[in-house]
Structure 1
């Protein structure tokens, strides 16, 4: 049974409300103190966390988290990656019943329970997991915020996608893992800069074009600077064609305009790999064939694996395409 507009009285009665969302005065003293960096051997996540209780400001107001979260439900894949990447257990996730995308199958997602689709989370299943924190995004589940907050402390990002770095920081604050979050992002940015520098040196500062084919009825998208892969390219210091070197998400083009994708290297993907027509009406014409160097990449790796884990996969593919050191630790 999916419960979306009001949790049954019996369900709410069984939920511990001590840690629910609050817009009142923050309680900022007491709790467990410690360094918020990476967990050392023999040290638990509780030992390594920051001070609790803590009040976290987020897109839907403020939420008091009474103790170090150890059982988190994440209702978007990118937030699954943010939580598990900070070494905290994800006990519930939405999406496909078959399981999480490969990039988010991390040690801290093992045993995670499917709690409905992204469009329709099952609140009854979420409550049954007895989480001590729920994370989602307003763009995904704004209308469910009150119901989720009745189950456990709930923190919402505004959106997903291009905001992935800020979302990691917000999740890290809720978990008491701020230093670990900042270190994770710093390590990624250092690697991106190193890979990009090697590509620029080896290939003479090439312009990198991003093309994504959706369905047979849709225009192609040229992804710009404000997209997930566009941010990775920017962090790597890689140049973009003028049409894509704008602070936008994407530019749409028809088959007759696909020459706008021109760049020294064109990386393209197919959202629907089972529909050859989705890309065929673009790649089958002379304008596409005239493009200099085209490389097909995984749509899941470049476009839906939004987060630190996916960003590293894009860097892997870029390093392999240009034959440079991947700078993997």
Structure 2
């Protein structure tokens, strides 16, 4: 039998030990270089409208494709790197209350996938209705969750906030924000007179149409939370009406959110039916900022809308 020098055996032993050490290190790390045990512990499976998405760690580079998602993310202490802002920087400033540094990724209806990809996001938050057709492309760029926003109810919007809190690894902060929000809404509700029983509704005036937001609309739910009686109870959130139909509903208080320029109300004001509305005769017609009342949604805008009602109706 052939014998090997002690020096050779020693070299082989050292090499074998080195191989075991390298193998051990490799098995304890994932492809990104982080410890596998750590990654598993810090990963969360997020259930959303289009399935499940695994998010790891605390996302820092977030892209939001709806305004309510911006409200949520910003309220949780994160400024998104990309926002679908409809190319309106002033609208974003109005929502968050200050000028922030971000990149526009285009419109909410058609976000620019190339720009989104260039931002190298670690989380994308998309709308379940607007963006369902590009979800596959979005999730190839980064982990993506699709939530309700555009046609969401108040409760669904709050549920989306909870999901976003979990995705951002900020569940504790999210619960605190929701608790504070509930206190604000309840405090505003307490300011209404105990005997308030007037009917109220918001209408959106366009050039050739007038659309009432019913009891099941987002702002309709806010009216109800405050304790008002809604003038139009319906499972359908929106209802187009003529002046004749509006005169039959005849709300005590009418908020109007109008498009820029002339609207159908400018013509209605010449009609006796308009002049005979209770809200008109009693001076209970109020303007409603369309961004805040119908576009933004979310915690901040809900509180702003509720405060707007008290300020205008009761001078509080």
TM-score under structure 2 length normalisation: 0.79
Q: Look up the match of 1:140.
A: 130
Q: Distance in 2 between matches of 1:150 and 1:200?
A: 53
Change (3 A) 1:221 1:66: same
Partners of 2:192 and 2:226 within 8 A in 1:
no
Q: Look up the match of 2:110.
A: 120
Instruction: Tell me the secondary structure at the aligned position of residue 192 of structure 2.
Output: helix
Partners of 1:134 and 1:154 within 8 A in 2:
yes
Partners of 1:138 and 1:159 within 8 A in 2:
yes
Stretches of 4+ aligned residues off by more than 6 angstroms: none
Q: Distance in 2 between matches of 1:181 and 1:225?
A: 27
Change (3 A) 1:225 1:178: farther
Question: Do structure 1's residue 286 and structure 2's residue 285 form an aligned pair?
Answer: no
Instruction: Tell me the secondary structure at the aligned position of residue 131 of structure 1.
Output: coil
Question: Do structure 1's residue 239 and structure 2's residue 229 form an aligned pair?
Answer: yes
Change (3 A) 1:178 1:226: farther
Higher relative contact order (CA 8 A, sep 6+): 1
How far apart are 1:154 and its partner, in Å? 0.5
Q: Look up the match of 1:303.
A: 294
Q: Distance in 1 between matches of 2:248 and 2:53?
A: 46
Q: Deviations over 1:71-110 (max 9, x none)?
A: 1000111111111111122010113323151432356x72
Q: Distance in 1 between matches of 2:83 and 2:90?
A: 8
How far apart are 1:225 and its partner, in Å? 2.0
Q: How does 1:199-218 map to 2 (within 5 A)?
A: 199-201=192-194, 204-216=196-208, 218=209
Q: How does 1:181-200 map to 2 (within 5 A)?
A: 181-200=174-193
How far apart are 1:31 and its partner, in Å? 4.9
Q: Distance in 2 between matches of 1:300 and 1:284?
A: 28
Change (3 A) 1:193 1:105: closer
Q: Distance in 2 between matches of 1:132 and 1:106?
A: 25
Q: Look up the match of 2:70.
A: 80
How far apart are 1:200 and its partner, in Å? 2.8
**Larger C-alpha radius of gyration, 1 or 2?**
2
Change (3 A) 1:195 1:189: same
Question: Do structure 1's residue 61 and structure 2's residue 51 form an aligned pair?
Answer: yes
How far apart are 1:29 and its partner, in Å? 7.0
Instruction: Tell me the secondary structure at the aligned position of residue 57 of structure 1.
Output: strand
Question: Do structure 1's residue 168 and structure 2's residue 155 form an aligned pair?
Answer: no
Change (3 A) 1:221 1:139: same
Instruction: Tell me the secondary structure at the aligned position of residue 62 of structure 1.
Output: strand
How far apart are 1:288 and its partner, in Å? 2.0
Q: Distance in 2 between matches of 1:53 and 1:251?
A: 44
Q: Distance in 2 between matches of 1:157 and 1:84?
A: 17
Q: Look up the match of 1:316.
A: 307
Q: Deviations over 1:228-264 (max 9, x none)?
A: 11121122122212xx133330222112222144222
Q: Deviations over 1:270-289 (max 9, x none)?
A: 1x121x13322333322222
How far apart are 1:174 and its partner, in Å? 0.8
Q: What is the number of equivalent residue pairs in this alignment?
A: 274
Q: Distance in 1 between matches of 2:159 and 2:90?
A: 22
Question: Do structure 1's residue 180 and structure 2's residue 168 form an aligned pair?
Answer: no
Change (3 A) 1:252 1:170: same
Q: Look up the match of 1:273.
A: 260
Question: Do structure 1's residue 251 and structure 2's residue 242 form an aligned pair?
Answer: no
How far apart are 1:179 and its partner, in Å? 2.8
Q: Distance in 2 between matches of 1:146 and 1:166?
A: 23
Q: Look up the match of 1:42.
A: none
